Structure 1
Amino acid sequence: MPENHDHRSGAEPSTERMRTDPERSGAAQPETSVEQTTRIPPVRADFDERTRPNLSGAAKPEAQQPAPESDAERTAQIAAVPGDFSTFRIGETQAIPQVGAQPGGWTAATPPPSDADKKRRSLIRAGIVAGAVVGALALLYIGDLVFTSGQVPRGTVVAGVDIGGLDETAAETELREKLGPGLNQPVELRVGDRTATINPEQAGLQMDWTATVQQAGSQPLNPFTRIGSLFSTHEVAPVSHGDREQLVQALEQVRPQLDRTAAEGTIRFEGAKPVAVDPVTGQSIDAQRATDEVLTHWADDVAVQVPFTEQPVSTTSEGVQRALREVAQPAVSAPVTVRGQGKDATLAPAAIAAALRFEPDGAGGLKSHVDLPAAIGSVEPQLADTIKPGKDAEIVLEGGAPVVRPSTDGIGVDWNKSFERLDEVLRRPQDRAVQAIYVHQPAKFTTDQANQMGIREVVGEFSTGGFEAASGVNIRRTAEQVNGAIIKPGEVFSLNGHTGPRGIPQGYVESGIIENGRPGRAVGGGISQFATTLYNASYFAGMQNVEHKAHSYYISRYPAGREATVFQSPNGASIIDVKFKNVAKSGIMITTRWTPSSITVQLWGTKQFDVSSQTGERTNPTQPQEKVVPPGEPCSPSKGSPGFSVNDTRTIKDVTTGQVRTETQHTVYNPQPIIHCGAPPAAPPAAPPG
């Protein structure tokens, strides 16, 4: 059987097996179909493009047309399919090797394509593909433009609600339905770990749905932006309307819930156990910046993060822990012994803890010190048998005359020196003891000093009366506190300063006062009567007036132009006071005498001044106005009284020098209003004519 040749090997077919060229010797003898399919058809050496059969089996027009062939003959004209048939591509006719082809499937007359040809054909094919893709994308882009015209850009989200792809009307409807119901709920504000809420209506917050949708803009023309919108979202802040001033006021109301006062680190004690307290930075909201944040985010589903200013602290957690290890824990690890004269006292760990104080040292840590009064209060009672208290001299009335009760010196402990090294001892694990240092303690007000005060006679006195029972209780309590007060030459006496707060714990009760031009009640009422009595006693003693204030309207039981009122705040701070200075050469002692109907104040010393008073005429009268207190409110009816102005002149003569001086005080009293409780009385009917 004839040998088959693989055209890929590059070998030429044998000339002995070649058939006679039909063009030269006439038509070829037909062969059986078996022979045609097992042998390579003879091919002329000068086979050219004109005689090469095409895939359809028809010869070129110029060539002599052979007789029609059977299917078997046509099949024999197609060369055997090469082994690398996988390289065959539809449309590439050159992929089918021709009979008698050169290596690579090309005839000697038609050389294979060059690399440039191949590259050119690849570029053409790539260009065709790219053009088709671009055309398809262009059609898709134009279609998308038309389809999405008038819609909100894809991926648009407002406060968690997706409105992308909707027209403006539908987008507004979507926002109203999804966000509207929650807009009446309180708006939560957050600053760190603190929260508060505000009422949106009271804060003046309103949503502008139309402006919110318009803020989202229109569909983008940039194709890349449009493609990106398929895979991303675009947050749009809701557009709100609100009165900034009204919103700021709402924020100020919740400021105490959001602000935090800075707290330095310290060490506190649970009994005798020290506990570190870490520092906490302060925070204060910025109301103006917070307003912007609330207007932007109040419709969000999460709390509005409110801007704030941080207030730093100087201590650190590490510094606090260091003080805990190095100071606090050693200090209470064991008691401290205080050695007295023949008796010892113990400063127990709990007492040490109660007396130990910590404060920032400026370098991140804490410095400590012992509160001496607290430490002394713990050990001094234990050493009471070794201490002899001193006693100051006293001046008292006995038999209607001042008598000096002598002073006595004492023996006590100089605690400042005794505890001078206590801080050092508290750091020791052992040898925890200090020595009590005893000293002689003379009286602060000695017998000689009392005798030299020259308190021997009354130099000023005044009495008033006519007070109600409740006022009498307060007047008596004040008189008890002031009785026996000593004023050294050059010193200033203050009524408010001497009594301190005048409240229920101090024995005062509710009584009548004057409030806003009409009668009222308050704890401590009636003290103005004692103040007036004291002022007049100092007036006639020749004391220098430092502070006093007349009532707003005249009270008939007091001398016109020569009376005083006093007032304290609820916490006991002095607002209106009676003060005078001792300008005499002797000391002054105040004594008081109370009865249910009167109060008398006397000033004792050595008489140095003769004092007289002259009250001028009342001028510039002003008529009272009528006031109606609504039903249900506390009310005390009053007939009122006119207002006026008056001058009081005090003449003071120094009996030791003969020098005389005068002082004039001008006082203006407002008219006391006529108070009606409820509706005013009906006007009398008009008299009939004639």
Structure 2
Amino acid sequence: MPENHDQPSGAEPSTERFRTELERSTGGAQPESSVEQTTRIPLVQADLEAGTRPNLPANGHKPELPKPEPESDAERTAQIAALPADFPALPIGDTQAIPRVPAEPSGWSGALPSASQPTEPDKKRRSLIRAGVAAGAAVGALTLLYVGDLALTSGTVPRGTVVAGVDIGGLDEAAAETQLREKLGPGVNEPVELRVGDRATTINPEQAGLQMDWTATVQQAGSQPLNPFTRIASLFTTHDVAPVSHGDREQLVQALEQIRPQLDRAPTEGIIRFEDAKPVAVDPVTGQAIDMQAATDEVLAHWAEDGAVRLPYTEQPVSTTREGVQRALTEVAQPAVAAPVTVRGEGKNAVLSPETIGAALRFEPDGAGGLKSSVDLPTAIGGVEPQLADTIKRSKDAEIVMAGGAPVVRPSVDGIGVDWNKSFERIDEVLRRPQDRTVQAIYVHEPAKFTTDQANQMGIREVVGEFTTNGFEAASGVNIRRVAEQVNGAIIKPGETFSLNGHTGPRGIAQGYVESGIIENGRPGRAVGGGISQFATTLYNASYFAGMQNVEHKAHSYYISRYPAGREATVFQGPTGASIIDVKFKNVAKSGIMITTRWTSSSITVTLWGTKQFDVTSQTGERTNPTEPQEKVVPPGEPCSPSKGTPGFSVNDTRTTKDLSTGKVRTETQHTVYNPQPIIHCGAPPPPPG
């Protein structure tokens, strides 16, 4: 290629591109190939932007430029100048997208267009490039942060992990477990509060078989998450992990059963209660019953957490509603006590006061959400009958009493009384009235229930059976006398059965009985009512010789020498007076039987009166199968009465009964086994203190 002396050294590529453009504008040069255009045009643009201009003649005319010889590929490559840094990237070969240098207008003065002002598409491209660079830098920085955070937190509990209010996030497992033990350990043995609805109570974790598992709790938190979004979120949020505990389910169920009465609630129907004469509505309350299996699961899962454990329960419905109770209040209760009720008697009136009305009113669910009312007659009668006492004559039953050493009949007396059922038949309607609140007392004849004729027909006129026992201590004598007073005068009609426990009812301090000696497990003891067995033995023998049918009796476990062997009895009642061991016999005679008793300080006699029908004899057999007593030592400090003991044995008693009216003879044999009464030794008393 010939040298160009008009261009300073180093400017040849720019001069050549400029010459080419001039040839194109004047038509003096042949068009280049598209490859040459693609290669050279960007270089012209670069020269223009760099401010390099070709040397032109002073007259402004275009110089005559010799046609250049073709360059080789190597020469073209050497002449391509480097692109400026902000030059927009263009695809090679896309000639239509390459900006062209405009042709010089006529009168061109030699000034080239300025290349310092980029077009709008160029600006957008540059903004996208800058944004891409910034985004790349940000992604790179975040990647570095993520990798660094992952490396720093490896092997630790995930950030934000909280167990029962204790933050263990970021700690290794050992440190997290230590933290939980220090923060939560002291409180895990404190009582756990349980709540069911509005009721609450506590259980002791240790007694309920509950224990914490700190290691499993930490392990439950898991490991560090790999998800970057999860890790970023953990910087601003917390993750609650339930404490892991172990429990003996059966032991926990037993503990819950013990406190269940404090949490369960029986349903309560709505009701009307009275404060003096003022009615007050009591709203219904639904019941609640623990779902025991679900409650056990809930305690096992949450007992170590803060706050009360709320147990699941089932609701027990009621049939009344608040509206139904209010309706009963306004429509029934309030009108009923708004004024008294007058009861008109024969020659005298009585007043049923609002207080008595309120006490007599009863309410119960009506099945439709409301309440239905009724009047308790005994309460209402008790409020007015004493006021009409002068108009009422009580009937009196006939009595059979002892007079002159023999039974006599006291005649019965008929009376006049009030039929209260008929008198108060319309009381509900009257109680709803604001006025005319009166009822009429209806008087009726009242015959005696046990008439003189009935008493005479009982045939109670002679002794048919009698027995006496002796020897008892003073306290036992008090109890024997008290029970004798209660039984004295009892009458048993033909076919009826007499029960000692049933006749006396409970025999406690309130009934006049005292503590006395008893035999318990072969050892002397004391109990209220001791000594009654002696009366029971006496009564049993009196009925035995009267020919009564034995229904129930039980001999003592140990033989007592003051009683006939094989022909004695004991009795026993529970703490509430319930009958456990009793003496019962049935009147199989044609006449009635009356029991009388005579008491002295050393003996008790029971007599049965009637019409003699049976002749009775007794035959006691030999004592067989003797058993020797064992020795027992009572520990020091316990109550003790030494005893020499007695042998045990078996015995048969045979009763022969002849019916005097028919001549029929009946034989009965009773077999009794007595245990040996142990030999009691009292242990040495404890040494004196000090």
Where on the TM-score scale, by shorter chain, does this alignment land: which range?
A: 0.7 to 0.9
What SS does the aligned partner of 1:490 have?
Answer: coil
> 1:451 and 2:432 equivalent?
no
| Structure 1: distance between partners of 2:103 and 2:412 | 147
What SS does the aligned partner of 1:667 have?
Answer: strand
Query: Alpha-carbon deviation of 1:253?
Result: 3.0
Counterpart position of 2:602: 597
Cα deviation code 1:10-46 (max 9, x no counterpart): xxxxxxxxxxxxxxxx99xxxxxxxxxxxxxxx9995
1:420-435 to 2 correspondence within 5 Å? 420-435=425-440
What SS does the aligned partner of 2:595 have?
Answer: strand
What SS does the aligned partner of 2:151 have?
Answer: helix
Conserved? CA contact 2:88–2:125, under 8 Å: no
1:113-512 to 2 correspondence within 5 Å? 133-512=138-517
Overall identity of the aligned pairs, in %: 83
Query: Alpha-carbon deviation of 1:311?
Result: 2.8
Pick closer, same or farther for the CA change 1:417–1:654 going to 2, 3 Å.
same
| Structure 2: distance between partners of 1:482 and 1:309 | 53
| Structure 2: distance between partners of 1:631 and 1:101 | 138
Q: Which moved more, 1:182-191 or 1:399-408?
A: 182-191
What SS does the aligned partner of 1:385 have?
Answer: helix
Query: Alpha-carbon deviation of 1:309?
Result: 3.5
Conserved? CA contact 1:628–1:680, under 8 Å: no
| Structure 2: distance between partners of 1:91 and 1:394 | 139
> 1:57 and 2:50 equivalent?
yes
Cα deviation code 1:524-568 (max 9, x no counterpart): 111111111111111111111111122222211111221111111
Counterpart position of 2:613: 608
Pick closer, same or farther for the CA change 1:119–1:638 going to 2, 3 Å.
farther
Cα deviation code 1:614-639 (max 9, x no counterpart): 22222232222233333222233322
Question: Aligned residue pairs: how many?
Answer: 608
Q: Which moved more, 1:487-496 or 1:198-207?
A: 198-207
| Structure 2: distance between partners of 1:373 and 1:380 | 10
| Aligned match for 1:649, one of 654, 673, 682 | 654
Pick closer, same or farther for the CA change 1:52–1:139 going to 2, 3 Å.
closer
Query: Alpha-carbon deviation of 1:409?
Result: 0.2
Cα deviation code 1:635-667 (max 9, x no counterpart): 333222222222222222111111112222222
Query: Alpha-carbon deviation of 1:287?
Result: 4.2
Cα deviation code 1:352-384 (max 9, x no counterpart): 111111122222222211111111111000000
Q: Which moved more, 1:366-375 or 1:217-226?
A: 217-226
| Structure 1: distance between partners of 2:424 and 2:435 | 17
Cα deviation code 1:423-482 (max 9, x no counterpart): 111111111111100000000000010011111111111111111111111111111111
| Structure 1: distance between partners of 2:280 and 2:131 | 80
1:92-107 to 2 correspondence within 5 Å? none
Query: Alpha-carbon deviation of 1:162?
Result: 1.4
Q: Which moved more, 1:357-366 or 1:172-181?
A: 357-366
What is the Cα-based RMSD across aligned positions, in Å?
3.3
> 1:619 and 2:624 equivalent?
yes
| Structure 2: distance between partners of 1:545 and 1:140 | 103
| Structure 2: distance between partners of 1:377 and 1:121 | 111
Q: Which amino acid aligns with 2:340?
A: P
Pick closer, same or farther for the CA change 1:611–1:44 going to 2, 3 Å.
farther
| Aligned match for 1:517, one of 522, 525, 549 | 522
What SS does the aligned partner of 2:373 have?
Answer: strand
What SS does the aligned partner of 1:672 have?
Answer: coil
Conserved? CA contact 2:552–2:584, under 8 Å: yes
Pick closer, same or farther for the CA change 1:119–1:610 going to 2, 3 Å.
farther
Counterpart position of 2:667: 662
Query: Alpha-carbon deviation of 1:130?
Result: 5.6
| Structure 2: distance between partners of 1:584 and 1:461 | 16
| Structure 1: distance between partners of 2:103 and 2:407 | 155
| Structure 1: distance between partners of 2:656 and 2:608 | 18
Conserved? CA contact 1:187–1:199, under 8 Å: yes
| Structure 2: distance between partners of 1:640 and 1:216 | 74
| Structure 1: distance between partners of 2:591 and 2:365 | 50
| Structure 1: distance between partners of 2:282 and 2:565 | 62
Pick closer, same or farther for the CA change 1:400–1:125 going to 2, 3 Å.
same
Conserved? CA contact 2:508–2:528, under 8 Å: yes
| Structure 2: distance between partners of 1:55 and 1:429 | 120
What SS does the aligned partner of 2:154 have?
Answer: coil
Cα deviation code 1:313-346 (max 9, x no counterpart): 2222222212111111111111011010011000
Pick closer, same or farther for the CA change 1:124–1:483 going to 2, 3 Å.
same
Conserved? CA contact 2:651–2:672, under 8 Å: yes
| Structure 2: distance between partners of 1:416 and 1:319 | 29
Q: Structure 1 length as normaliser, TM-score?
A: 0.81
Query: Alpha-carbon deviation of 1:668?
Result: 2.0
Query: Alpha-carbon deviation of 1:505?
Result: 1.6
| Structure 2: distance between partners of 1:502 and 1:312 | 43
Counterpart position of 2:80: none
| Structure 2: distance between partners of 1:517 and 1:540 | 30
Conserved? CA contact 2:637–2:685, under 8 Å: no
Pick closer, same or farther for the CA change 1:607–1:55 going to 2, 3 Å.
farther
| Structure 1: distance between partners of 2:167 and 2:314 | 35
| Aligned match for 1:671, one of 661, 670, 676 | 676
Conserved? CA contact 1:418–1:436, under 8 Å: yes
Query: Alpha-carbon deviation of 1:217?
Result: 1.7
| Structure 2: distance between partners of 1:622 and 1:639 | 14
Q: Which amino acid aligns with 1:549?
A: K
What SS does the aligned partner of 2:357 have?
Answer: helix
Pick closer, same or farther for the CA change 1:488–1:118 going to 2, 3 Å.
farther
Conserved? CA contact 1:628–1:679, under 8 Å: no
Pick closer, same or farther for the CA change 1:144–1:463 going to 2, 3 Å.
same
Unaligned runs of 5+ in 2: 1-5, 8-21, 27-40, 58-84, 90-98, 105-111
Q: Which amino acid aligns with 2:577?
A: G
Cα deviation code 1:400-429 (max 9, x no counterpart): 111111101000000111111111111111
Q: Which moved more, 1:568-577 or 1:282-291?
A: 282-291
| Structure 2: distance between partners of 1:266 and 1:627 | 61
Pick closer, same or farther for the CA change 1:312–1:559 going to 2, 3 Å.
farther
Conserved? CA contact 1:278–1:316, under 8 Å: yes
Q: Which moved more, 1:312-321 or 1:518-527?
A: 312-321
Cα deviation code 1:656-682 (max 9, x no counterpart): 11111222222222222222332499x
Conserved? CA contact 1:474–1:508, under 8 Å: yes
| Structure 2: distance between partners of 1:54 and 1:240 | 82
Pick closer, same or farther for the CA change 1:113–1:581 going to 2, 3 Å.
farther
Conserved? CA contact 2:645–2:679, under 8 Å: yes
| Structure 2: distance between partners of 1:563 and 1:54 | 146
What SS does the aligned partner of 1:254 have?
Answer: helix
Cα deviation code 1:494-517 (max 9, x no counterpart): 111111111112111111122233
Counterpart position of 2:532: 527
| Aligned match for 1:547, one of 552, 569, 584 | 552
Pick closer, same or farther for the CA change 1:167–1:399 going to 2, 3 Å.
same
What SS does the aligned partner of 2:50 have?
Answer: coil
